[in-house]
Amino acid sequence: MSGSEQISLFDCPRLVAKKVLAKPQREGDGAVVRRSIGRPELKYVDPFLMLDEFTVSPPAGFPDHPHRGFETVTYMLQGAFTHQDFAGHKGTIRTGDVQWMTAGRGIIHSEMPAGDGAQRGLQLWINLASKDKMIEPRYQELLSEDIAKAEKDGVEVRVIAGEAMGVQSPVYTRTPTMYLDFTLKPGAQLHQSIPESWNSFVYLIEGEGVFASFNSSPVTAHHVLVMGPGDGLSVWNKSSKPLRFVLIGGQPLGEPVVQYGPFVMNTQAEIEQTIEDYQHSKNGFEMAKYWRSQSLG
């Protein structure tokens, strides 16, 4: 391989600052998730609160539960999930589809598998700035066929948020975010620029890849790599199988984070207010009093 293929194209390439293996754990009602961000050794990558790779087979799932103060992004890798919430919003996302939910001041919803066998996907939690935490909830849904795609030199990208390889996602990101799903054929390489002020990380879905510097050790599936500062990321697939990973980056908020389960605010007092609002069905949780999700069986 020539020298030019071995070096990064960036003035200041991003290096791996931290590597963590996401181990399976139980969540919800009988569901199994591999949590990468949001575990004790990797609490928070501002503005990202959590990343789970979930594998759920009926009757397991995530029954009625609340959120406040952030966004959830659900990306189906295999199978289908049905979502219902207390505002009457219902929908099923299937393989390759994305639901971008801004919980804002309050939502109660259920997320349950919509097919037999294992349903698999990624769920990312993105923090909201203090000024946005109490906005009205909203949704953006992208069907698989509507996700911007590009392919060149053995690299394929699906642009869920942000821009890559000359294509752009229509998703509006209240907290500026990039969410890119890359597949590299054997022998392919990628050089993806990232805004310098942003934090970024990689999560490996399948295969193995060499990240940041050509001579570093290959990294395998279910690892998260938190990238250090710089202007871009270089990746090489030296293996004989395809490499698939997501590259996620965002503008850090630089605000205090106080989390209590599914509530994320800036102060302990705001968390206590949220718990009171939820328990008494007020300030955004009014519809909680009478709503229960419908059985999908």
Fold: same for 22-146+256-292 and 147-254 = yes
Residue for token pair 């869920």: 160
Token pair, residue 70, equals: 């952030």
Residue 223 in marked binding region? no
Tell me if the domain spanning 22-146+256-292 has CATH number 3.30.70.1290.
no
Residue 111 in marked binding region? yes
Q: What is the reported pTM?
A: 0.94
Contact 105, 288 (CB under 8 A): no
Alpha-carbon distance of 208 to 221, in angstroms, equals 6
Domain range annotation of the chain:
22-146+256-292, 147-254
Instruction: Look up the CATH superfamily of 147-254.
Output: Jelly Rolls (2.60.120.10)
Residue 67 in marked binding region? yes
Per-residue pLDDT of the chain (297 residues; tens, 9 = 90+): 444 456 668 989 999 999 999 999 999 889 999 999 999 999 999 999 999 999 999 999 999 999 999 999 999 999 999 999 888 889 899 999 999 999 999 999 999 999 899 999 999 999 999 999 999 999 999 999 999 999 999 999 999 999 999 999 999 999 999 999 999 999 999 999 999 999 999 999 999 999 999 999 999 999 999 999 999 999 999 999 999 999 999 999 999 999 999 999 999 999 999 999 999 999 999 987 887 887 655
Token pair, residue 186, equals: 């054997």
Token pair, residue 30, equals: 């009988």
Residue 89 in marked binding region? no
